[in-house]
Amino acid sequence: MQAEVITNKITNDSYKKFHHPSGLDVLVWEMPGFSTTSALFATKYGSINTRFKTAADEDFVDVPDGIAHFLEHKLFENEDCDAFELYAKTGASANAYTTFDHTAYLFDCSENYVESLKILLEFVQKPYFTKATVDKEQGIIGQEIKMCEDSPQRQVLFNLLKCLYTKHPVRIDIAGTVESIAKIDAELLYRCYRTFYNLHNMVLVIAGNCNAEEVMAVCDEKLIPCENIGLETAFPEEPMELSQKYIEEIMPVGTTLFNIGFKVSSPGKEDIVKAELESSILLQLIMGSGSPLYKELFDEGLINSQFSSEVFFGDGFFANIVGGESKDPERVQKKIYAEIERYKKEGFDEEKFKIIKNNMYGLMIKNFENVESCANGMLAAYIAGDLSAYAPIEELAKITVEDIKKDIGTLFNSEYSALSVVKA
């Protein structure tokens, strides 16, 4: 089977991409000299994918919130045993997670990666749902949802998303609600499984102490070929206008929590990497720990070491979010808005820009020496639009201080910004 070799033009690193006859894309990053292996078997199916159709459907189908996360929980069990019991025999550390736009099953190991890979491919392709097991899981996940509702950190984020997004399902908690998961039954789980766990909608990534020929031999043995069912997903049209500008919730917290979000029109596949990198640079320049604003806020006691930021994006959504603890979140918000406006007028210091850019570059190079980071990088790039895992470092090299000055108005527009607060 012919491999496409994907090469980093800057560092000359490379990994291989295979289009397996079963329909699955397989990405293998061989890292000679490393002792560990990291693998992820993922589907482009997350909590936001509640509306879909296949070539066999006349119209789009709507399913309950939380079903992708529910499926993730159930796949570890089959008729014979729990997948964790099998991994215990190979010595691998296994896990799974569901995000807004994908679900992944993974393992890390220092030996027996071939045997662990066989377990991974086998159990993800062997669903087993019954009324009894579904009813039991509804109780378990229901408790998980209630625990999440009692988490101030989680509530401050999801309340913010409800402010920023009017219609997009990113505003709904990944686990769904107690009411929504009550609508899930075995038949519906099988339908969603057959739709989204089709190998044409999935990817296998593996990095570290592995061999591409061995990996593909396991794929030949374990993958069950399937037809491309013509899967389409859809979201309600999301306006740029916010649902609301401010939201407040009362919870038992020692210090008031806050999140400030800046909604951005979701970039296309060709612009997503640049938008993420520019946002990361701007967050550090404007309010990072080395910025004048951070020092001012810290010295005035308006923030503490919990202050942080992130670029939050996925299929159909993109936002820049900052947050932490503060005695006066509204004042923090005003100062951030004022600093953004100052930078829009005055521009940025070239030297500070270079320092931040070089630091980001160094971190990317460092991640190429980490097996887990390489595997996760391949997966993230693939989910974002079948991009190269090297796209970020190659795009970073091209970004200039003029680029971020030009794009700050789009990436940080206070008109499309909201504040979420959780206080006692």
Enumerate the active-site residues: 72
Q: Can you tell me whether residue 1 is helix, strand or coil?
A: coil
Phi, psi dihedrals of residue 320, rounded to the nearest 5°: -105, 125
Contacts of 322 (CB under 8 A, 6+ apart): 259, 260, 283, 287, 307, 308, 309, 336
Q: Of the candidates 277, 275, 252, 251, which has an alpha carbon nearest to the alpha carbon of residue 264? A: 275
Token pair for residue 294?
């951070």
Q: Where are the alpha helices (DSSP H) in 197-288?
A: 212-222, 272-287
Element (H, E) at 377: helix 371-383
Contacts of 160 (CB under 8 A, 6+ apart): 247, 259, 260, 261, 321, 418, 419, 420
Beta strand 202-208 with 25-30 is parallel
Element (H, E) at 61: strand 61-62
SS3 content of the chain, % helix, strand, coil (to 5): 45, 20, 35
Token pair for residue 284?
């550090």
